[in-house]
Structure 1
Amino acid sequence: MMNTKSIGPFIKILASIIFILSIFSCKNIDQKHIKKIEKNFGLYEDESDSIAVELKLSEFNNWKELLERTEQIVCNDSVPKITIENDSVIKRVYLRNPCLKGLSCILIREKNIIEIHNDTINKSYENFYALDSLENVLRRDIENNGKYPKFSDSPDKLLIYISYDEDGVAKLPQILSRLTEALENVTNRSDLKIWLSRKFPVPPPPPPANLNTNPDGW
């Protein structure tokens, strides 16, 4: 007959083992239930991810290198893609930069452009806004539909330019995250057109008229 004194420690050890195994089992069950939400932005309905080439931001030293690689991809008939991820969401942002090889310029109406340069938003080089105003700026253009001539003709024509002077590669994931979040708050559309761009100098205003000039030319 087993001694009751030896049974006590055995039961305690067995209970501890069962308790530890149950904890690991619960953790494994919880991990299996956690599945990240996947979202795509800028991918058109008739396209698939197979046309995309991933831009791994850690491979670029500066904004110029990133732009050069972006253009190289689009000029090879592919779409550059940047993936941003956190504990719950995977966002894939497909960039719609055009291939500029052999082109001197592309004519786009300023009213169809929202530019974000160094985390400052501007519209037609007239109105400048802090990044906190991004959702309101997007809403105004997306919902305008040609009503007011200073804003976008339609969501289909709206372009978002993103450019930086310094540290742009490091800041890009955050601005893309904020931009896509603002878009989701404004519309259920995900076909946002985002271009990575260089900052172009603002054209100087025309010289003021000489009020002392005689209307007859003397």
Structure 2
Amino acid sequence: MKKILILTSILSILFSCKENRSAYYPSKDYFEKNNSSLIEISNKVKSIEELENILVENSNLSKVSYLNYKGKFKIALFINSNGLIKERNIVSVAKDSIVSEEGKFHFSQINNVLEKHLLNNGRSPYYSSSPDKAVVQIIPSNDLESFYETINKLIESFENFKTTNTNKKANTLNVFYDLSKGYDNFIKPPKPKE
């Protein structure tokens, strides 16, 4: 009986520790190595315009902005202003759609698209050439609530992916924020498959 109690206590401690750990995007290693160039975005941001202004200001100071989302997820938001990233390495997401070189998808397909994108290793010309070059680019919508909904869905999907993935290189997620497109200019998704 004592052994069962001890084993139960150890397991509950292990699981509770796992639940309280922070997740870092792209990786914890990135945050440790670049700590001096990171600036946390305040949770008091009230609009997409204010968020974008902060991203641009910090970028002009050679700083990377990050969200401390729900106190558990630290997400570096890199700015993509049509830089030198091969299109195949980018999957764009918006509040209800995903676009890759393969085509456009409803957001309900995010799990499948993320898996293809992160585990591709150059096999398909439609997805990333390697996991470390894979980028998920957020297309801003007109409101902050939709932005956070997209972040939430993306994190949930990626965390699910990490539980089944055995390729350690694919367990990082590079999140870019696209300042060049607005949601209104983004390709609308097809209807979800029933």
Q: Identify whether the pair has TM-score above 0.5, normalized to the shorter chain.
A: yes
> 87, 90, 97: which is aligned to 1:113?
90
Aligned-pair distance for 1:57?
4.4
Relative to total residues, which structure has the larger helix share, 1 or 2?
A: 2
Aligned-pair distance for 1:80?
0.6
Unmatched 5+ stretches in structure 1? 1-32, 203-218
Give the letter aligned to residue 45 of structure 1.
D
**Helix, strand or coil at the partner of 1:97:** strand
Which whole-Å CA distance do the structure 2 matches of 1:54 and 1:180 have between them?
Answer: 18
**Helix, strand or coil at the partner of 1:64:** helix
Alignment of 1:185 onto 2:170: no
* Percent identical: 21
Give the letter aligned to residue 106 of structure 1.
G
Q: 1:190 to 1:174 in 2, by over 3 A?
A: farther
After superposition, the C-alpha distances for 1:54-97 in whole angstroms (9 at most, x for unaligned) are 11243232x23312211211221222111122xxx711111222
Q: What is residue 22 of structure 2 aligned with on the other side?
A: 38
Tell me the TM-score normalized by structure 2: 0.69
Q: CA RMSD, aligned part only?
A: 2.8
**Helix, strand or coil at the partner of 1:96:** strand
Any runs of at least 4 consecutive aligned residues in structure 1 with deviations exceeding 6 A, and if so which? Answer: none
Give the letter aligned to residue 175 of structure 1.
T
Q: What is the aligned residue count? A: 160
Give the letter aligned to residue 53 of structure 1.
I
Q: What is residue 80 of structure 1 aligned with on the other side?
A: 65
Tell me the TM-score normalized by structure 1: 0.62
Where do 1:98-177 residues align within 5 Å? 105-124=82-101, 127-167=103-143, 169-177=144-152
Higher relative contact order (CA 8 A, sep 6+): 2
Unmatched 5+ stretches in structure 2? 1-15, 163-167, 187-194
Q: Which has the larger radius of gyration?
A: 1
For the 8 Å contact 1:114–1:123, the answer to whether it is kept is: yes
